[in-house]
Amino acid sequence: MMIKIGSHIDDIHFFDCDFEEIRFGNTNIVILATNVGLMPGHPLNPGIKYDDPPVWLPKAVFVFDGVKSSKRMVYEYAENAVSSEDGFKSKYEVVDGPFNQPYQPLTLFTLEGVLKNPHAWVAAWEIEAVSFSLQMDEADLPAEAVMPLVAETGRR
């Protein structure tokens, strides 16, 4: 069964996320991710204090619906880098689209993480969209996570 949590993007630790695959539609962006950290404050994390540990999801799907724009800075990793100074071979901006323009209020979402193909650090990814949700299979929910209420997940 699928779990779907809307919003709460500020409670996701993107720094260690791996973006396995990105799919672009006319009105959405779907990102298949691994190593997703959920910070205290996220409905799936039972932590109460800011310094409580994150809950790590082995995999999840980020869905941005009603996308107006998407741009990101991509820093491709050098194959044989030995230090952070020579760790990247190139840096460039990617502007995705065009997207069908939504007629609803928009939010600017920001994220970062490691892209698998090409192998690169994605920084300052800005997606202007109507909504964001995190989706995952209930079977992938770690034992330390809290099972969300049906009302929060959209499950039936």
Q: What is the pLDDT of residue 31?
A: 97
Q: What is the pLDDT of residue 107?
A: 97
Mean pLDDT of all residues belonging to the chain: 88
Beta strands in the chain (DSSP E): 2-6, 12-13, 18-24, 28-38, 55-65, 69-77, 88-96, 107-115, 120-129, 131-137
Q: Which two tokens stand for residue 23?
A: 């799919």
pTM of the complete model? 0.87
Q: Is the pLDDT of residue 153 over 60?
A: no
Distance CA 129, CA 140 (A): 27
Surface-to-core class of residue 17, CB atoms within 10 Å of its CB (0-12 exposed, 13-18 middle, 19+ buried) = buried
Q: What is the pLDDT of residue 81?
A: 58
Residue range 16-61, pLDDT digits in tens: 899 999 999 999 999 999 999 999 989 888 887 878 889 999 999 9
